[in-house]
């Protein structure tokens, strides 16, 4: 079943709308674009700097997709795109996201995550009929020190890493532009996404690749840090629900409530790799020095998202891991 989309009237002609997606060669951005191309009639423009975390192979050529390899901080080029395509909606995924890299070198995170967002917001000031949706993160809140409780939408921001601080800053800029300029802005803060096409430096693909090779699985500290995992397609579907609802000024939490310690994640990966390979992996967990400022636990209160959007996650964690292992094994042995 195809989703209903908005149509625009331009000079007496009915035309399909064009959506700008930033960071569309990345893991989450590419999944959202694939969802749009599969289930709507929208035209999509992808803007991506194609840094280390992006991959052109994440998207195939499509008659309703145009991609531009450019930094979102290139004001002149970004404005040309707005003039040419007359975007009805902008979904801003583009960001540096790797926490370890932010600890080693914070400056690129300031450039992409903060300056890039402000440049887009300034563009929305010029085109105030455009719906701007910002992809934020649960990491803006810092961490929960115990196993109980959730972050609420009004919980204070207490970011622990330069990455989280840059996303918190961008999130606050979006809120400020909404209040000051009355722009059509929405925000979503999600838990940890997982799924195929994720950069190999992230936890789940890293551990799967090592388990396939029978290598040690490096786990920070005691491995008891907990994350709420949501399958990337569930996240993408929720974003589209937000875009359709068009309740400007709203902020939503996107999570599944499927909390796993890093040890539990690794154990499930080893189990699934062994099953699909037909032999026991030789990999074992190897505890390594803990990350600086390592957050203990994230958990989001998603009650508003369930009520307002009818959001319920569909992909169980173990099923998602099984699909990702299958996907990576096909790549590994092809």
Question: Half-sphere exposure of 84 toward its Cβ, with a 13 Å CA cutoff?
Answer: 11
Rg (CA), the chain: 20
Measure the CA–CA gap between 108 and 272, rounded to whole angstroms: 36
CA dihedral sign of residues 208, 209, 214, 217: negative
100's CB contacts (< 8 A; 6+ apart) are 201, 291
Asked whether the beta carbons of 297 and 146 are under 8 A apart, the reply is yes
Closest among 125, 95, 332, 301 to 211, alpha carbons compared? 332
Paired tokens of 262: 């890093």
**Are 37 and 66 spatial neighbours (Cβ–Cβ below 8 Å)?**
no
Alpha-carbon span 42 to 157, nearest angstrom: 35
Taking alpha carbons only, the member of 100, 102, 92 closest to residue 206 is 100
Catalytic positions, written as ranges: 138-139, 163
């Amino acid at each position: 079943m195809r989703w209903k989309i908005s149509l625009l009237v331009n000079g007496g002609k009915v035309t399909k709308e064009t959506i700008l997606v930033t960071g569309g060669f990345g893991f989450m951005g590419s999944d959202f674009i694939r969802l749009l191309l599969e289930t709507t009639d929208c035209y999509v423009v992808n803007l991506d700097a194609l840094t280390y975390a992006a991959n052109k192979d994440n998207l195939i050529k499509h008659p309703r997709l145009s991609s531009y390899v450019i930094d979102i901080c290139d004001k002149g080029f970004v404005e040309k795109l707005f003039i040419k395509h007359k975007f009805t909606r902008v979904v801003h995924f583009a960001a540096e996201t790797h926490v370890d890299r932010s600890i080693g070198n914070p400056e690129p995170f300031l450039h992409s995550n903060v300056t890039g967002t402000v440049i887009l917001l300034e563009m929305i000031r010029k085109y105030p009929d455009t719906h701007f949706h910002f992809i934020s993160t649960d990491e803006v809140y810092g961490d929960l020190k115990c196993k109980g409780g959730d972050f609420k939408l009004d919980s204070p921001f207490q970011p622990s890493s330069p990455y989280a601080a840059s996303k918190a800053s961008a999130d606050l800029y979006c809120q400020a532009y909404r209040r000051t300029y009355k722009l059509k802005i929405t925000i979503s803060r999600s838990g940890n996404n997982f799924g195929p096409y994720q950069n190999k430096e992230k936890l789940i693909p890293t551990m799967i690749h090592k388990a396939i090779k029978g290598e040690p699985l490096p786990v920070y500290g005691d491995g008891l840090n907990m994350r709420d995992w949501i399958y990337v397609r569930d996240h993408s579907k929720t974003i589209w629900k937000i875009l359709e609802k068009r309740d400007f000024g709203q902020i939503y939490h996107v999570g599944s409530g499927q909390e796993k310690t890093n040890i539990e994640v690794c154990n499930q990966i080893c189990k699934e790799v062994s099953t699909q390979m037909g032999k026991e992996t030789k990999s074992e967990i190897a505890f390594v020095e803990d990350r600086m400022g390592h957050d203990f636990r994230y958990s989001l209160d998603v009650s508003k998202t369930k009520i307002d959007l009818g959001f319920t996650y569909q992909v169980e964690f173990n099923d998602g891991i099984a699909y990702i292992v299958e996907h990576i094994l096909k790549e590994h042995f092809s």
